[in-house]
Amino acid sequence: MLAKFGRRLKDIRLPAQKAPLMADSQDGLQRGLKPHHMQFISIGGIIGSAYFLGTGYVLAQAGPAAVLAYLLGGFLVYLVMLSLGELAVHIPTSGSFVTYANEFIHPAVGCGVGWSYWINWVVFVPSEMIAAGIIMNHFVPTVGVLWWAVGFGAMLTALNLMHVGNFGEMEFWLCLIKIVAIGAFVVLAILIALHLIGTGGAAGLQPMAESGGLFPKGVRSVFLTMVIILVNFQGTEIIGLAAGECKDPEKTIPAAVNAVCYRIIALYVIPVLLLVVIFPWSQASLKESVFALALERQGLGWAGAALSFVVLTAAISCSNSGIYATSRALYSLAREGMAPALLGRVDGQGVPRAAILATVTGCWLVLALQTLDKTGTFYQELLAVSGFTGTVCWVSICWAQASFRKRLQARGFDTQRMRFRVPGFPYVTYFAIAAQIACLGASAFSEDFRKAGWISLALLVLPMTLYVLSGRRQLGQSGAARHFEEVVSG
């Protein structure tokens, strides 16, 4: 089926202002990621400890309507990935939405989006390391949480400094563990719902009806939890950042984008639906895995312990994908002249070593700051900030795709010739933009997320302001612009 997406993009070696921007250029990033790497890297970003812990918060706030919240969030993510797929197939660069915003919106927007995305992961990855440290501390209490977190950080640093093919293979196996675990939970939950196993009391629709029905806290609660829903889905955009390092992007990227729909249903909607059936929503919280609690309540303590190990794997995998994604965003910022030029260099293996080291250093600094938190709410704050800043990046993807398509049409290009395109354009794209902004606006009125909303806004506006005040102007034709001209002429 993928063959009908069109002819293979020609190998083009493009000159740039200081160094080639193309990923397969002589001194650029190398195309070492295979199709199965692309599929699993995007999964790695969306199934972290926030998936297992954040779902507890959504369930506690929205009740059984959490299933609808995940459906709505998943639908929005799929629309965003359609826009990203159209851009990445025709302009496959490691800069992804940073490069697209720079070229098709405004360089200041690209700067703001890129730096807010980098900061987003720099503050979020340490929370995943700490989550992994907490789990290991339960198994080996003689070693402190911080030491475990630092150890995992060192391991992830070494892994990301390897050739990108080694990174992709490692992420493949880490993701496979998570998928198998979620599949096992689904099987056990079905058996519990059918009363074939389990000793934890009634399961099914009747307990749900007795605890307030589908909307125990009102329809509004669904929208107030969207910021956490969206942060749980973040990581899917990594397929765009990896476009510059994947082989045959015109084939692998559409396959990864189209798989998002099935992935959301299989990994989110079905497990959460079963969770609602077998577990009282009023007992859910952000402090521990609600999936493990559900199995332990049914007398399956061994399964709950196994899921704790899976949360450990999820934290490592999500951190792994996060360092990969944000280092490529930083690399792109440097290539676009929005960060020190040193960060835009690669080593002999095509690895952006300087960008990776800068990213990991930032993660370690945040890791040290987290040890000073005495309120116990820092993890929730990190999730909220990540939700806001990540969604801003998604809005920029849809905006850039709309501008890209309009520019093609203005040049008289027949969009039916495109290898991959957003169906129902422009209505689908504009709906995705409006719906995401509405979700962010609803969450900003929540007392839990108001502070995070202002912080996220500052992370976007400050880099944009500094860029404008610096008086920098893009000289010559950007790499994305050259790709655009190739699409028009090809």
| Number of domains the chain contains | 1
Three-state SS string over 399-433 comes to: HHHHHHHHHHHHCCCCHHHCCCCCCCCCHHHHHHH
CA distance 397 to 400: 5
Per-residue model confidence as pLDDT tens digits over 416-456: 888 888 999 999 999 999 999 988 887 777 777 788 888 88
- Grouping H, G, I as helix, E, B as strand and the rest as coil, residue 246 is strand
Of 363, 357, 404, give the one whose Cα is nearest residue 382: 363
CA distance 12 to 340: 26
Q: What is the pTM of this model?
A: 0.79
Least trusted range by pLDDT, from 57-66, 99-108, 379-388 = 379-388
Least trusted range by pLDDT, from 30-39, 355-364, 413-422, 449-458 = 30-39
- Model pLDDT, residue 449: 79
CA distance 307 to 320: 19
Residue 3 falls within a domain, yes or no?
no
């609808």: which residue's tokens?
A: 68
Residue 140 falls within a domain, yes or no?
yes
- Model pLDDT, residue 399: 95
Contact 429, 401 (CB under 8 A): yes
Residue 418 falls within a domain, yes or no?
yes
Residue 490 falls within a domain, yes or no?
no
- Helix boundaries (H) for 161-269: 164-193, 205-210, 220-224, 226-233, 238-241, 249-264
The CATH number for 239's domain is: 1.20.1740.10
Contact 388, 452 (CB under 8 A): yes
Residue 5 falls within a domain, yes or no?
no
Nearest-Å Rg of the Cα atoms of the chain is: 22
Work out the number of other CB atoms within 10 angstroms of the CB of residue 342: 10
- Model pLDDT, residue 403: 94
Least trusted range by pLDDT, from 36-40, 230-234, 295-299 = 36-40
Q: Quick one: average pLDDT of 298-323?
A: 79
8-state DSSP, 232: H
User: For residues 308 and 356, which has the higher predicted lDDT (pLDDT)?
Assistant: 356
The answer to whether residue 355 scores a pLDDT higher than 70 is yes
Query: In sequence order, what are the residues at sequence separation of 6 or more whose Cβ sits closer than 8 angstroms to the Cβ of residue 136?
Result: 143, 145, 148, 312
The answer to whether residue 483 scores a pLDDT higher than 80 is no
- Model pLDDT, residue 23: 35
Which residues are registered as beta bridge partners of 246? Answer: 33
Residue 15 falls within a domain, yes or no?
no
Residue 11 falls within a domain, yes or no?
no
Domain that holds residue 360: 20-483
Number of H helices, E strands in the chain: 20, 0
- Model pLDDT, residue 14: 30
The answer to whether residue 243 scores a pLDDT higher than 90 is no
Residue 6 falls within a domain, yes or no?
no
8-state DSSP, 265: I
Q: Quick one: average pLDDT of 21-34?
A: 42
The answer to whether residue 40 scores a pLDDT higher than 60 is no
CA distance 223 to 370: 29
Mean pLDDT score across all residues of the chain: 76
